[in-house]
Chain A
């Protein structure tokens, strides 16, 4: 352990963000996930001779929007380049990507670390087309190639090697994830590979300024795995260095089941990618108007949102953070807030309490909730008006989920409405006092326990629907007379 402490890690990340466009980056073919193999492949996507790429405007806009969200420079002109290599999932024998003049230049993002805030510089982000997929378990002898994913738009976000432990790398990855999902440019689906990451990991003795030889761990698509993979890789490198060996610059694959990384044989040959400007495309002009149009679409980011929730809405910081960090949750929260008279803290507590519990139980997220924000607001209003108790509200919520009806309708049908009508309660109390003179006298003589008898009687009569606060007030007033 003491030996481990003499080393420090240097981590840089390349994050691939799949842009949520309708069509592919250079063809008019549908870009959605999950279609049957090779059913979403245009002639261009298959690399047929004679086909030519035509850039998708939305992909450009999304990339610019991302750049603005990380305070990056957006150039006036951007160009595409070809990255040449042979691989079965790369139909043209080159990937259309960017080398010089990428669409997003230098930027930065602030992350939270154990030691406080840290700024991570972003080297660049560029647009590129994704490759297809190889299926290895269909045949013993063959790999099967599905090109549906080929040509779908990605931005590759390249950080400076500035993370010094796996936790920071995860924090950075989360920060970028939050950005792209809040921007509405990526669906954030980790299982489908919409957000994945290559980690460049090296180690060096503490105090040394030059970087050690790095290994690149490919295709990490979970926040948990990336932390484990980086830690594992750093340990592997330290072990080699401490036993007098040296690190080979190579591409490695993380095996989550075995919790280890291994060299990727298929990428063994250090490739000379022979980048050159794609002669099938002309330079793209990025006008001020394009940039400003995207700037106007920038949403409020979690940091600002948390601040606003705490300072303006009076939420607890912990609640504010949970809501603000989830784009769908915060949308739901704010929409329900605008539709309901209930105060924000009640809304947040119920949302993170009863509502979240229900979602968990149903294995759903707020994004695919059966109950929309407006219906939820209706429930909050009933709770706020005192027509139901919080306990009943949970039951109403369950029925809303099952039956799709409004809170008001359910309360009426079930007869769960609290009796909050003062005159109705006063009449009941008056009758009670008239019919129980002994108990009244006992209370007035100082037997305060007798108060509960009156409450109990009224509750029994009203089947528990009397508003307890109002009832208490009326009883106190009438019994004192």
Chain B
């Protein structure tokens, strides 16, 4: 398995990353090297195996429906480098 420039651009778009033009070749090569390595998983015959999502073989613990938290408005908005007193601000989104 290996990827080409177009596929790299698609991945970068999904991941919202910029790939500078001069790095495209190097990054493609580096990703392809990893892809080659990870392709080894396909050596295993897993036809009878259930996927394992988690090492903790237990059931989820469930929370009762209670309000246990209070507002953090000031704490949260001050973490953002672009917010006014009430909102986070992003470049205008046209829906």
Contacts and interface: CB of A to CB of B under 8 A. Distances in A.
- Do A and B come into direct contact in the complex, CB within 8 Å? yes
Interface stretch (A154-162, A276-284, A327-335): A276-284
B21 interface: no
A285 interface: yes
- Chain A interface residue bracket vs B: 35 or more
Given A54-B61, A283-B59, A142 B89 contact: yes
Interface string A26-66: 01111000001111111100101000001111111000000
Contacts of A143: 89-93
B53 A37 contact: no
A145 B66 contact: no
Interface in A100-143: 134-136, 138-143
Contacts of B84: 144
Interface in B38-54: 53-54
B81 interface: no
Contact of A37 (B60, B62, B87): B87
Contacts of A192: none
A283 B60 contact: yes
B60 A23 contact: no
Contacts of A29: 67, 69
B14 interface: yes
B61 A138 contact: no
Given A30-B67, A42-B72, A266-B93, 20 more contacts: A21-B65, A28-B69, A38-B77, A42-B69, A46-B72, A48-B76, A48-B79, A88-B88, A136-B95, A141-B91, A142-B91, A142-B92, A146-B87, A147-B88, A265-B95, A266-B94, A279-B54, A282-B60, A283-B59, A285-B60
Tell me the interface secondary structure of chain A in the complex: loop
Nearest to A276: B53
B73 A38 contact: yes
A99 to B, nearest CB: 12
A41 B79 CA distance: 14
A422 B18 CA distance: 95
A274 interface: yes
B57 to A, nearest CB: 9
Nearest to B90: A88
Contacts of B89: 139, 142-145
Given A55-B62, A57-B62, A279 B53 contact: yes
The 9 closest A-B pairs by CB, nearest first: A28-B68, A144-B87, A58-B65, A145-B88, A37-B86, A282-B60, A142-B89, A28-B69, A285-B59
Nearest to B76: A46
Contacts of A358: none
A284 B61 CA distance: 8
B26 interface: no
A46 B77 CA distance: 10
Nearest to B13: A269
A36 B71 CA distance: 10
Nearest to B85: A37
A45 to B, nearest CB: 9
A266 B86 contact: no
B37 interface: no
Interface in A236-285: 253, 264-266, 269, 272, 274, 277, 279, 281-285
Contacts of B88: 38, 88, 144-145, 147
A22 interface: yes
Given A29-B67, A144-B88, A266-B93, A39 B73 contact: yes
Interface of B: 13-14, 16, 53-54, 56, 58-69, 71-73, 76-77, 79, 84, 86-95
A453 interface: no
A86 B71 CA distance: 25
Contacts of B66: 22-23, 28
A139 B89 CA distance: 9
A42 B76 CA distance: 9
Nearest to A286: B59
B69 A27 contact: yes
Contacts of B93: 88, 134, 136, 143, 266
B95 A135 contact: no
A39 B60 CA distance: 29
A145 B65 contact: no
Contact of B86 (A38, A43, A142): A38
A26 to B, nearest CB: 8
A281 B60 contact: yes
* Centre residue among B14, B60, B77, B92 by max chain A CB count within 10 A: B60
A33 B84 CA distance: 21
Given A138-B87, A141-B91, A57 B65 contact: yes
Contacts of A39: 71, 73
Contacts of B67: 22-23, 28-30
A101 to B, nearest CB: 11
Contacts of A58: 64-65
A55 B60 CA distance: 8
30 contacts: A27-B69, A28-B67, A30-B69, A36-B86, A38-B87, A40-B71, A41-B71, A43-B76, A54-B62, A55-B62, A56-B63, A84-B14, A88-B90, A134-B93, A135-B87, A141-B91, A142-B90, A142-B92, A143-B92, A144-B87, A144-B88, A144-B89, A145-B87, A266-B94, A266-B95, A274-B14, A279-B54, A282-B56, A282-B59, A285-B60
